[in-house]
């Protein structure tokens, strides 16, 4: 039970206010010295902000080894999320995902995971040397999107790889699709495996009403939560939730392998204040968000040619539940790839949505939205359909291609490589990533066989305007392949 009285505290924020009031003369870093050394920065960000952009010191604690106000903030966060401990993360959810994998898997140990994970999870394999056992997610043929993990596929993977250390679950997906997290967790624990959840898009599951089950509620062992995505903290700030018998000190050592020793107090205080706000006001906040998303979904579905999908996709398996706050919209029936609609919305209508892929767009709805902005999005989509729609013949009809894994990500990434023109790499083993960002889910990851189907997909994504990343060649004309 969350104690509202203790949860109304924000210890890091309060310590910063005491620091500011004390008028401390700084002979430490950062060198801008409370903004005085960089007037333009001070004018841009504001005096209040730069005056508390400070370094670790005894009254403000130390993120690498918290003993006072940061420790208290972590304990309040753990209580808020219902976990045994919560770590403040300032290197983004990327570092939280990497810390989860590296806390339970050493070199050559296996982790079962869906292939449509964020690049941060595969990066964790490159760093640690853990071996992925990929489960291909279900695919919705109409929408062309990857779905959740089938319980039967998880059972099969556990049976074939009983020595796996952990099961990694992406929940919810970018599109709002949720797996049967309780059943997957039960299966994993029965077989002595940890459950690690990339919950980047699920902060609101802990604080809203009638939400899909959260990782901690489902009994997962660790969860990486992007507080900045739907929780109101500053970009790059996240929580890593620990809910098992791993020693807190050991997990912190793992975090400290990759996280900065100069933790930003702006990011930490934003986590502190966002946690406070969500505990005190989360139910009302996410009730409003859900109402806005549901209204937008209903109105967009009245426009012939768009499909804003929701709980009707639920099948009890690969779509076990759906996050109604996600406004995911299928666009291919108007003859436009999602990324084309994404570009038109930004360039012609001044609307920036989260991402567009080859068949869908995603608009993030949050407490910061208003009825007026929702109406503007709806009317803009209607006008785009009227002005830009075309024949959908020849459009790509799927977002996910099952990979053939030849080498582990670490082996491939650190192997001797050659650079080839990407259109001549068919049949070779990929030595790097290729992905559209956002969302940052690899089309190709190190160690996978390059196929003509994948190359056609990459070419199509380029043509439609996807922002491709991951290769050493910034123009994505060449690709590094592993010498065989």
167: pLDDT confidence band, cut at 50, 70 and 90?
A: very high
Domain boundary (279, 294, 323) is at: 279
Residues 96 and 207 in one domain: yes
Residues 254-279 pLDDT 10s: 999 999 999 999 999 999 999 999 99
**Tens-place pLDDT, residues 22-32:** 988 888 889 99
Whether residue 403 is contained in a domain is answered as: no
| Residue 421 in domain | yes
Q: Is residue 253 part of a domain?
A: yes
Q: So what's the pLDDT on residue 439?
A: 80
CB 308, CB 327: distance < 8 Å: yes
- Last residue of a domain, which of 279, 307, 330? 279
How remote is the C-alpha of 387 from its chain's centroid?
34
User: 91, 259 in Cβ contact below 8 A?
Assistant: yes
What single DSSP character describes residue 261?
Answer: S
pTM over 0.85: yes
**Counting Cβ atoms within 10 Å, is residue 186 exposed (0-12), middle (13-18) or buried (19+)?**
middle
Looking at the fold, whether 261 and 302 belong to one and the same domain comes out as: no
- Does residue 290 share a domain with residue 216? no
Kindly report the CATH number assigned to the domain that includes residue 191.
Answer: 3.40.640.10
How far is residue 407's CA from residue 428's CA, in Å, rounded to a whole number? 12
246 domain residue, yes or no = yes
Instruction: Kindly state whether residues 164 and 62 are assigned to the same domain.
Output: yes
Q: Is residue 400 part of a domain?
A: no
User: Does a structural domain hold residue 404?
Assistant: no
- Beta strand pairing call for 166-170 and 177-178: unpaired
Q: What is the CATH number of the domain that holds 433?
A: 3.90.105.10
Q: Are residues 43 and 60 in the same domain?
A: yes
**Sign of the four-CA dihedral 461, 463, 465, 469:** positive
Whether 274 and 309 map to the same domain: the answer is no
Shared domain check, 301 and 166 = no
Distance CA 442, CA 435 (A): 4
Q: What residues contact 371, with CB distance under 8 A and at least 6 apart?
A: 292
Indicate whether 23 and 171 sit together in one domain: yes
Q: Same structural domain for residues 166 and 263?
A: yes
Q: In this structure, what CATH number is given to the domain that contains residue 356?
A: 3.90.1150.10
Domain with 376, as residue range(s), is 282-388
Contacts of 52 (CB under 8 A, 6+ apart): 16, 19, 20, 265, 266, 269
Query: With the C-alpha atoms ordered 363, 368, 374, 380, is the resulting torsion angle positive or negative?
Result: negative
Tell me whether residue 160 is in a domain: yes
Q: Are residues 126 and 201 in the same domain?
A: yes
Q: List 355's β-bridge partners, or say none.
A: 362
Of 139 and 343, which is predicted with more confidence? 343
Burial class (CB in 10 A: 0-12, 13-18, 19+), 16: buried
70, 57 contact by CB (below 8 A):
no
Percent of the residues in the chain that have a pLDDT greater than 70, as a whole number? 99
Same domain for 271 and 287, yes or no, is no
> What confidence score (pLDDT) does residue 398 get?
67
Count of domains in the chain? 3
398 lies in a domain?
A: no
235 and 298 within one domain: no
Give percent of the chain above pLDDT 90.
84
pLDDT > 60? residue 475 = yes
Query: 333 with 306: CB under 8 angstroms?
Result: yes
The whole-number pLDDT of residue 144 equals 84
Higher pLDDT among residues 139 and 325, named by residue = 325
Cβ-based neighbour number of residue 326 at 10 Å: 24
Q: Where are the beta strands (DSSP E) in 232-285?
A: 238-242
With CA atoms as reference, report the closest residue to 425 among 400, 455, 453.
455
3-state secondary structure of 424: helix
The residue-averaged pLDDT of 167-189 equals 97
Task: Write the CA distances from 241 to 83, 217, 348, 388, 408, integer angstroms.
Answer: 6, 12, 41, 45, 28
The domain boundary, picked from 355, 388, 421, lies at 388
Closest to 420 measured CA to CA, from 434, 406, 408: 434
Among 3, 15, 53, smallest CA distance to 273 is for 15
In whole angstroms, what is the distance from residue 309 CA to residue 291 CA? Answer: 15
């Amino acid at each position: 039970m969350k104690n509202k009285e203790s949860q109304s505290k924000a210890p890091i924020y309060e310590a910063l206010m005491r620091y500011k009031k004390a008028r401390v003369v700084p002979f430490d870093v950062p060198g801008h010295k409370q903004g005085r050394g960089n007037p333009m920065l001070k004018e841009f960000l504001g005096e209040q902000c730069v005056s508390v952009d400070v370094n670790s010191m005894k009254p403000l604690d130390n993120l690498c080894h918290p003993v006072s106000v940061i420790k208290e903030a972590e304990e309040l966060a753990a209580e808020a999320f219902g976990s045994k401990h919560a770590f403040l993360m300032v290197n983004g959810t990327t570092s939280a995902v990497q810390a989860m994998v590296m806390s339970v898997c050493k070199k050559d140990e296996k982790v079962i995971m869906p292939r449509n994970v964020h690049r941060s999870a595969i990066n964790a394999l490159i760093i640690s040397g853990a071996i992925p056992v990929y489960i291909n997610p279900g695919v919705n043929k109409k929408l062309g999107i990857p779905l959740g993990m089938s319980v039967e596929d998880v059972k099969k993977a556990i049976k074939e790889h009983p020595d796996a250390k952990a099961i990694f679950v992406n929940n919810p997906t970018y599109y709002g699709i949720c797996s049967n997290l309780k059943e997957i967790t039960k299966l994993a624990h029965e077989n002595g495996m940890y459950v690690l959840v990339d919950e980047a898009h699920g902060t609101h599951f802990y604080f809203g009403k009638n939400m899909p089950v959260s990782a901690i509620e489902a009994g997962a062992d660790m969860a990486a939560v992007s507080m900045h995505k739907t929780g109101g903290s500053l970009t790059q700030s996240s929580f890593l939730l620990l809910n098992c018998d791993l020693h807190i000190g050991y997990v912190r050592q793992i975090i400290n392998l990759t996280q900065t020793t100069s933790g930003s107090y702006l990011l930490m205080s934003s986590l502190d204040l966002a946690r406070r706000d969500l505990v005190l006001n989360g139910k009302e906040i996410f009730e409003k968000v859900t109402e806005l998303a549901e209204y937008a979904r209903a109105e967009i579905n009245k426009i012939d040619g768009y499909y804003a999908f929701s709980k009707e996709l639920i099948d009890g398996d690969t779509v076990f539940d759906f996050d109604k706050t996600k406004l995911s919209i299928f666009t291919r029936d108007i003859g436009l790839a999602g990324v084309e609609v994404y570009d038109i919305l930004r360039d012609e209508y001044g609307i920036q949505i989260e991402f567009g892929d080859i068949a869908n767009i995603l608009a993030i709805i949050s407490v910061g939205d208003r009825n007026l902005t929702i109406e503007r999005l709806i009317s803009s989509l209607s006008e785009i359909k009227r002005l830009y729609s075309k024949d959908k013949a020849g459009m790509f009809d799927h977002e996910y291609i099952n990979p053939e894994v030849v080498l582990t990500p670490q082996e491939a990434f650190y192997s001797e490589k050659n650079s080839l023109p990407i259109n001549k790499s068919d049949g070779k083993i990929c030595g790097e990533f290729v992905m559209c960002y956002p969302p940052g889910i690899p089309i190709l990851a190190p160690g996978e066989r390059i196929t003509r189907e994948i190359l056609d997909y990459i070419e199509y994504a380029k043509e439609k305007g996807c922002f491709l990343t991951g290769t050493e060649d910034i123009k994505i004309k060449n690709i590094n392949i592993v010498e065989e």
